[in-house]
Amino acid sequence: MRGKRYGAMLFASVFLAGGLAFAVEPAPGSAKALFEAKCSICHPLSRPLGKTKDRKGWTATVTRMQKVNGCPITDEEAQRIIGYLVAERGPKGN
């Protein structure tokens, strides 16, 4: 009986810790995870998250990060990050 109880508690704490980690860490492979991993290499995420730009603006910024500043992303990844930023930090009501 002792073992069973301990097992249940262990399960509960692993489950809780897992749930918490999940809430903080976005799903791997999501555009958000990609953005957070790649766009925090040189400056804090507040740098892009503090701005509001339309698709044209985010395309210009992300392309500059990639081609000029050296952000290690493929063109496909750049497109996904642009889509994420337009959704999160696009013009209001858009």
User: Least distance to ligand HEC from the beta carbon of 23, Å?
Assistant: 23
- Asked if residue 31 binds ligand HEC (CB under 6 A), the reply is no
Query: How far, rounded to the nearest angstrom, does the alpha carbon of residue 4 sit from its chain's CA centroid?
Result: 39
- Given the rule CB under 6 A, which of 8-16, 25-33, 66-74 is the region that contacts ligand HEC? 66-74
- Asked if residue 56 binds ligand HEC (CB under 6 A), the reply is no
Report yes or no: 34 and 77 within 8 Å, Cβ to Cβ: yes
Query: How far, rounded to the nearest angstrom, does the alpha carbon of residue 20 sit from its chain's CA centroid?
Result: 16
- Asked if residue 65 binds ligand HEC (CB under 6 A), the reply is yes
